Amino acid sequence: MRTLVAVLVVAGACSGDGTSPGAITVSTATMSADYASFRWGANNDCPAGGGTQVVSVTIIGEQSGSGGAYGIGLCLPRPDQIGAGAISLGDDSKIRLDSLTGKVGDCTFTQNGSASGTATFAGFSTAAGATYTLTLAGQVPGTSTCGGGAVMVVTLALSGTADVAPR
């Protein structure tokens, strides 16, 4: 997963406008960015441990217009326990928000703590070729820097629904 985080943090890019349909929106009091092009893979990046033979699933979405330079990385250690109900973003045994980075104008932001709120999956499946939807509703502590200035503490609000396609 460290490789995933490094890939998401590399290089600068453009901003989202918070209005794209079928996207997850990340916002603060002063900025908003959309994330789409979500892809999933059974990569076993965050295995559950404890002797389980279940292969974990990684979900990656990119900030719209960033060319993949900024994004969201989620991991499902036990995809066999994902159902139609809401999952707490604080339940690391089922879902982890491993990376969240973005850029709006001359401001960059990144998560700096654990998320709270919920994730809900519709049509979730790990079968080859499966596509499903992900809905996020919550928040995560973060930091932001604008124009090379001081680091500011921010709350990153997560909202919206996006399709997740296979890699």
Lowest-confidence segment of 8-12, 45-49, 88-92, 98-102 by average pLDDT: 8-12
pLDDT confidence of residue 15: 35
pLDDT at 31 over 70: yes
Residue 56 pLDDT > 70, yes or no? yes
What separation in angstroms does the CA of 97 have from each of 17, 19, 51, 92, 105? 22, 23, 23, 9, 24
**How much is the average pLDDT of 74-99?**
95
Which pLDDT score, from 0 to 100, does residue 19 have? 39
> Could you report the per-residue pLDDT of 107-120, keeping only the tens digit for each?
999 999 999 999 99
The yes-or-no verdict on residue 95 having pLDDT over 90 is yes
Tokens of 25: 């929106």
How does residue 50 score in pLDDT terms, banded at 50, 70 and 90? confident
Domains: count for the chain: 1
Q: What pLDDT does 9 receive?
A: 30
2 or 138, greater pLDDT? 138
Q: How far apart are CA 21 and CA 94, in angstroms?
A: 27
- What token pair was written down for 106? 């001359």
The pLDDT assigned to 122 comes to: 96
Domain around 91: 2-166
Identity at 6, one-letter amino acid code: A
As a whole number, the mean pLDDT across the chain is 87
At 151, the amino acid letter reads: V
